[in-house]
Structures are given as structure tokens and as C-alpha cells.
Structure 1
């Protein structure tokens, strides 16, 4: 496995963990949850594009 794939996966799992925490708890509406999941999907597509083009410097927490 290349270092770029490992970097990508580490970053994605970090953000996936954040999403998981944001979706938990009381008082969350389905609309808010869908917005958060859509946002995560867009981030994931951007991360994938950046890794594919070698732009790892954009992967920052």
C-alpha cells in the first residue's frame, strides 16, 4: 500500500469518526443529518481527487 493511500485512509477515517459523533444524540433532525452526510460525501470526493493528483498538502486537520 502506498503512503498516499495510507494518508488518505487515515484522513478519511478521522473525518468519518467526526461525522459519526455529530450524528449521535438527541435533538438531531433527519434534515440536519442528511446535510452532514452530504457534506461528508463532498469532502470525500475532494479528498479522493486531491490524492489522485498528488495534492496531499491539502489534507490537513
Structure 2
């Protein structure tokens, strides 16, 4: 019998994407109080989201 992973775990791609979006949005909101241009804030949002997704995916794959 194989074990099924919880649908709330980071094994699901959608959950990793959601975590990356939330992390990116949080950092972008923190940057929103600064005088950074909107384009720079968008780059920060995408960068933090991408790094978060890559890191969580890498950590998940090494645990298998």
C-alpha cells in the first residue's frame, strides 16, 4: 500500500506556486512603502516568487 501525501503538502505544484506568490506579494507590499518605481517592485515580486518556488521545489525533491 502506498502512502498518499496530504493535499496541503508542498508535494503539489499548485501549493508551491501559491507559496511563491504569497512570498513575492509580501515582499512587494513591504517595498510598496518605499519610493521604488512600480517596475522595480514588479521585478522584486517576480524574483522573490521565482526564488521561493525554486528553493521549495529543490528542498522537496531532495527529501524523496
TM range (shorter): 0.3 to 0.5
TM-score of the superposition, structure 2-length normalised? 0.46
Structure number with the higher helix fraction is 1
TM-score of the superposition, structure 1-length normalised? 0.48
Higher relative contact order (CA 8 A, sep 6+): 1
Looking at CA atoms only, which structure, 1 or 2, has the larger radius of gyration?
A: 2
